[in-house]
Amino acid sequence: MNDYLDKILRGQPINYEAFLKKLPDSFRRRHRELFAAEKVKTNRWLVTILDESAFAELQDVAQTPVSRVDAAKKGNSHRHGTEVSFLLVYHQGLASSRPDVVVIGTESVDMGFHQARSVLVVENERNFYQYSQMLDFASETLGGRLELAECDVVLGGGNRITRAAILDWLKGYEEVFCAFDYDAGGLQMFSTMAASLGDKATFVQPRDWQLWLARFCKVPDTTERFTSAVSLAEGLGFVALAEAFRSTGKFMEQEMILDE
């Protein structure tokens, strides 16, 4: 079950019929309310999450061990979500180039600074380290100046940033700018965040993709992955990005923003 859920979050196609058979009865009966499925090839569907709260509930059900330690004793600690998450953050109050740490538990948050008005979530570590350049990029694409004085910068690598407790913490910001890879994974992450954060969430992308097409260098691992990215982009209303995918047949990794 967890393998299916992970692939859905990553925007990868799954055997939807087999997935439905594994769902608990209470979820199977209302699967049309929870998911939308688009067939991309034989026995493979791209699945869109329609109800984020129900999906989070399903994740909890799938993680049957009572704790991470309990799951490790059963042979796989990853079968249980972590009770605590750590986020690296650049903010105005830092005395050096070393980022701060926020500790987010299921019922508590330990942080040594006050949240700014806005936050820029950066997917990749190198780009996060070059936070000044990423703030400049975001400022250019958004049409308004972002400064560290009023915009924190958070490292959101992998699917860590889509954990329920972290999304709840992000709700403390007025605006959440998402700078992710321009591929299926990045778009699925944003889709999940937007479902939770609503209009607070903004996907950071160039206004004119024609100027960036030469930086689409990453060949998709599979045709399904490419199809997923195009479908997600169109579903989110990012028509120009979908056309960029089609015209290049490739993805653009976030590091290319730094290649100037």
DSSP secondary structure, 157-207, as one string: TTTGGGSHHHHHHHTTSSEEEEE--BSHHHHHHHHHHHHHHGGGEEE---S
Mean pLDDT value across residues 163-189: 94
Cβ proximity of 224 and 211 under 8 Å:
no
For residues 126 and 195, membership in a common domain is answered with yes
Q: How many whole angstroms separate alpha carbon 156 and alpha carbon 161?
A: 5
Domain boundary among 79, 97, 123: 79
Mean pLDDT of the region 152-160? 88
Lowest mean pLDDT among 31-45, 60-74, 89-103, 205-219: 60-74
CA distance 1 to 59: 9
**Rounded Cα distance, 3 and 101, in Å:** 30
Three-state SS for 242? helix
% residues pLDDT > 90 (the chain): 65
Q: CA 145, CA 100: separation in Å to the nearest integer? A: 23
146 shares a domain with 175: yes
Give CA 99 to chain center in angstroms.
Answer: 21
Domain boundary among 62, 79, 96: 79
d(CA 106, CA 81): 11
143 and 187 belong to one structural domain: yes
Which domain does 104 fall in, by range? 84-258
Work out the pLDDT band at 240, boundaries 50, 70, 90.
Answer: very high
Instruction: Tell me: do 59 and 155 sit in the same domain.
Output: no
Same domain, 230 and 115: yes
For the record, the structure tokens of 85 come out as 């998450």
Residue 73: pLDDT band (50, 70, 90) is very low
Indicate whether 53 pLDDT > 90: no
Domain shared by 161 and 233, yes or no: yes
Under the banding of pLDDT at 50, 70 and 90, the label for residue 80 is very low
Residue 154 CA to residue 118 CA, distance in Å, equals: 11
Q: Answer yes or no: are the C-beta atoms of 116 and 150 closer than 8 Å.
A: yes
Look at residues 164, 195, 64, 98 and name the one whose alpha carbon lies nearest to residue 178.
195
Boundary residue ending a domain (44, 79, 114): 79
Number of domains observed in the structure of the chain:
2
Does 27 lie in the same domain as 116?
A: no
Same domain as 132, residue 46 = no
